[in-house]
């Protein structure tokens, strides 16, 4: 049978532990970003292009009937060049390499930028086939107004026309 002093001691220790957990569950307050800052998140995954060539009729005739694909495409994918500019100044410039042992996988980038809230001219340029095209084949430019604690996501989706901006609040 526990003594009354042991029971009181346990109550005091459990109470202190609960108060400790309760305090740190609510304080100190945590802010992801300062009050006057907005976020730009660049997050995309995309397959780079391939350099396919059309087979000649002679080449097709030499192949077995089940192998007569009109195009001969290598397994590997192209690197993807990506440039992000804010008010005409380069903010991020990278070349995304395809993943996989045969370099045939998806290219991915995730970058987070904290900027002061305000109005900016934002430009994103992407070339997903450096082998065939030296220029950017996807370009998205827009004047954006970022409020404090706002998040602007830059993504790529071919079904939505390529590059696009999507906005949300961080709070």
CA distance 81 to 135: 10
What CATH number is given for 37-49+77-169 in this structure?
2.60.40
How is residue 57 annotated by DSSP? H
The reported pLDDT for the residue numbered 117 is 94
CA distance 112 to 153: 9
| C-beta separation of 113 from 153 below 8 A | no
| C-beta separation of 86 from 121 below 8 A | yes
37-96 residue pLDDT tens: 999 999 999 999 888 889 999 999 999 999 999 999 888 899 999 999 999 999 999 999
13-43 residue pLDDT tens: 999 999 999 998 888 887 778 889 999 999 9
The reported pLDDT for the residue numbered 133 is 83
**Where are the domains positioned within the chain?**
1-30, 37-49+77-169
| C-beta separation of 96 from 82 below 8 A | yes
């Amino acid at each position: 049978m526990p003594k009354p002093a042991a029971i009181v001691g346990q109550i005091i220790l459990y109470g202190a532990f609960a108060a400790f957990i309760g305090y740190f569950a609510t304080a100190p307050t945590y802010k992801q970003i300062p009050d006057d800052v907005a976020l730009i998140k660049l997050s995309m995954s995309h397959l780079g292009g391939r350099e396919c060539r059309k087979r000649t009729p002679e080449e097709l005739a030499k192949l077995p009937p089940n192998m007569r694909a009109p195009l001969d495409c290598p397994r590997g994918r192209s690197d993807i060049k990506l440039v992000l500019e804010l008010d005409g100044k380069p903010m991020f410039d990278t070349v995304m390499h395809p993943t996989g042992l045969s370099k045939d996988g998806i290219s991915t980038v995730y970058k987070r930028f904290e900027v002061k809230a305000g109005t900016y001219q934002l430009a994103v340029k992407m070339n997903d086939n450096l082998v065939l095209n030296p220029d950017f084949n996807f370009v998205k430019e827009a004047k954006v107004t970022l409020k404090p604690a706002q998040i602007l996501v830059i993504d790529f989706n071919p079904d939505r026309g390529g590059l696009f901006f999507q906005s949300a609040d961080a709070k």
